Amino acid sequence: MKNKGILTVVSGFSGAGKGTIMKELMKNYSDTYALSISATTRAPRPGEVNGREYFFVSTEEFENMIAQDALIEHAQYVNNYYGTPKDYVFEQLENGKDVILEIEIQGALKVKEKYPDTVLMFVSPPNAAELKSRLEGRGTEDAATIASRLSRAWQEAQGVEKYDYFVINDVLEDCVKKVHAIIQNEHARAFRNQELIDTIKNELKEFSKGE
Amino acid sequence: MKNKGILTVVSGFSGAGKGTIMKELMKNYSDTYALSISATTRAPRPGEVNGREYFFVSTEEFENMIAQDALIEHAQYVNNYYGTPKDYVFEQLENGKDVILEIEIQGALKVKEKYPDTVLMFVSPPNAAELKSRLEGRGTEDAATIASRLSRAWQEAQGVEKYDYFVINDVLEDCVKKVHAIIQNEHARAFRNQELIDTIKNELKEFSKGE
């Protein structure tokens, strides 16, 4: 029996360390995971490679993907489209890879509605003061910008109650292990093992006839 | 903030190795877990100690417990009562212990209905042939008895789809680790962290006022 992969959506406050966690996850368990690659209409930034950071497409191409229902979810920010092409994700899942998708809460909730088997995971620092100090620690933003980012973080947190997991990123290494363990244990959910359960039940029924 | 413990109900086919798994769990992680102790009206067997294997009580005492709603669940088998006293379980949960309760599916589903935060876990051998050979391996029962036990196993499996987890016990040591990881990861469920989520949200709101 081939085990299908699990789709996990990871969200979290900016400054929570999502990116680093996912990089570590891919590094430590590269056979297990595939990172979903988004399509976008925004121009590549220096160093970004098509098919690695993003699939860079034209607005027309993107709107065609929408029309053909070829995206798991999509959204528009600052006049650019961002979305998750179905093909790549479904192919990886069929191959037994656990696919990780990084999007914000509103998109994540839409994915869960469409694909209820999806695991929603929110990554948070242990407390808001820690988030504030991580943002300050970057040393690139003034107090007003930091306040506005914290305000955005608060807005972004609306809906987090509907997530499956709320994972604290305190010590990075521990957090990576926890995220990995959570996704792997999701494979043991009864509803993901319906086929195996039915097989065992049928076998038992046969055996109990005194075969 | 004190973390409350999680109540996990473990069920499984007889011959699936539930008992051994729970013994190992208690041995390896004794600070984490408490095993629920059932009350029963049946007479103690040689070697059984009151308050260790069971709380041995009279029928009158047991019926008083029922009348006072002092049991999480109870059932009657062969003229004897069996049940789970609330006091002990709730006390352990309050102390932050994860409590494990071993009962069959029908009782487990009732517990989940009454206490939706409960984790239901079903332990199974990898396949029915393995279960059959484990029963045969005991060498204590004839073919007819084994067929009847397998028939009972099949009946016992009705409702397993409603469980949270379906865990395969193939290699004991791996299975014990898996059960432990599953219960510990349940602590990261968003709905079990509502208080923490609210705290972080409120802090963020305060900070974003530019405090």
Helix, strand, coil percent content, chain B, rounded in steps of 5: 45, 20, 30
What architecture is the B7-34+98-207 domain classified under in CATH? 3-Layer(aba) Sandwich (3.40)
In this prediction the pTM is 0.90
Per-residue pLDDT, B90: 95
Query: At residue B75, does pLDDT exceed 70?
Result: yes
Q: Please name the member of B144, B182, B205 whose beta carbon is closest to the beta carbon of A185.
A: B182
Task: Please tell me if residue A60 touches chain B, with a CB cutoff of 8 Å.
Answer: no
Which pLDDT band holds residue A127 (cuts at 50, 70, 90)?
Answer: confident
- Residue of chain B whose alpha carbon sits nearest to that of A211: B147
Residues of A in contact with B154 (CB under 8 A): 201, 204-205, 208
Residue pair B125/A150 in contact (Cβ under 8 Å)? The answer is no
pLDDT in tens, A175-194: 999 999 999 999 999 999 99
CB atoms within 10 A of CB B120: 22
User: A143 or B95, which is more confident?
Assistant: B95
CA nearest to B5, candidates B27, B28, B35, B37: B35
Per-residue pLDDT, A1: 42
Contact A203 B129 (CB under 8 A): yes
C-alpha count within 13 angstroms, C-beta hemisphere, residue A150: 30
Which pLDDT band holds residue A6 (cuts at 50, 70, 90)?
Answer: very high
C-alpha count within 13 angstroms, C-beta hemisphere, residue B185: 27
Residue pair A161/B197 in contact (Cβ under 8 Å)? The answer is yes
CATH superfamily of A7-36+98-207: P-loop containing nucleotide triphosphate hydrolases (3.40.50.300)
Which pLDDT band holds residue B210 (cuts at 50, 70, 90)?
Answer: low
Which pLDDT band holds residue B121 (cuts at 50, 70, 90)?
Answer: very high
pLDDT in tens, B140-184: 778 888 888 888 888 878 889 999 999 999 999 999 999 999 999
Which value does ipTM take for this structure? 0.88
Q: What mean pLDDT, rounded, does chain B reach?
A: 91
Identity of residue B40 = T
Query: At residue B186, does pLDDT exceed 50?
Result: yes
d(CA B55, CA B44): 9
Query: At residue B1, does pLDDT exceed 50?
Result: no
Residue showing tokens 């709730």: B90
Task: Please tell me if residue A185 touches chain B, with a CB cutoff of 8 Å.
Answer: yes
Give SS3 for A163: coil
Task: Please tell me if residue A209 touches chain B, with a CB cutoff of 8 Å.
Answer: yes
Contact B207 A122 (CB under 8 A): no
d(CA B171, CA A186): 19
Task: Please tell me if residue B147 touches chain A, with a CB cutoff of 8 Å.
Answer: yes
Q: Please name the member of A151, A167, A181 whose beta carbon is closest to the beta carbon of B181.
A: A181
d(CA A58, CA A40): 8
pLDDT in tens, A23-68: 999 999 999 999 999 999 999 999 999 998 899 999 999 999 999 9
